[in-house]
Amino acid sequence: MMTNTISKDQAVSGWINGFIGVLLFSGSMPATKLAVMEMDPIFVTIARAVIAGILALSVLLIYKEKRPVKNQLFSLVLVAIGCVIGFPLLSSLALQYLTSAHSIVFLGMLPLATAIFGVLRGGERPHPVFWFFSVIGSLLVIGYAYSQGISASPIGDVLMLLAVILCGLGYAEGAKLSKTLGGWQVISWALVISLPIMLPLFFIYFPINLETVSFKGWFGLGYISLFSMFIGFIFWYKGLAQGGITSVGQLQLLQPFFGLALAAYLLHEQVSMGMLGVTVGVILCVVGTKKFAK
């Protein structure tokens, strides 16, 4: 059982905020793919952190937010390592070897990784049945992705696996810290403390041939800088803090399907009956984890 009691209103608000966060994150992998097709993945990682970091610093100054206390700095460093540097860099590098479809395999593991770190770092204790639904939901996503005919790439696989582990740590650590520091403040300060490292690297890795980058490349970089790196986290961390890391974190199981639905709408890709069937199964697993996470 979880050590902290969550009220019904908190749970509902948590799921709403978490759902918005997942919707915003759903475009992350396609947008990253657009960016790294035309720009170096290391520069893409640095640029998104710098753009979001400058935005975060501006917001903190405008609202005159208090600085984090000493005992919050370690958690902020873990958030920065997992969400600002680790996942963006490793996933960008992985997308040089993998298709977007292949990344679904690993995104399907992200809710489970978040739940595990929620237990290790957040002190949550979900019902044993929760783990059953969580694993089944992850296996449904992974199984569907493999059924689409995915080519193997050991380098890309290792990079994405490490990316998911670091991201799960960053999600859980940020959610725990959000309870005392605030959701948007957590990602803002994590971005700000990354700036002294990322800003010099921005000029070191600044490409000389940016004139060859198309609108799609700039759009991809803009999306992951604003929505994937900053705005999405405002809703996501607030949702995790309100509704519980292990419970709300399972909403990530829907992220790959939102991404595929977006691709179908914008790129006119076919949505199969298999995808719809798996989506229904995942939704049922999300409902199950919500019930037994308490």
Token pair 């049922």 in the structure block, residue: 284
Condensed to tens digits (0 to 9), the pLDDT of residues 240-252 reads 888 887 778 778 7
Domain boundaries, the chain: 10-293
Which residues in the chain come in under a pLDDT of 70? 1-6, 99-102, 104-105, 122, 124, 126, 144-152, 260, 262-276, 278-279, 282-294
Written as six digits, the tokens of 180 are 């005392």
Residue type, position 131, single letter: W
The whole-number pLDDT of residue 152 equals 58
Condensed to tens digits (0 to 9), the pLDDT of residues 149-177 reads 555 577 888 898 899 899 999 998 988 89
CB 246 within 8 A of CB 289: yes
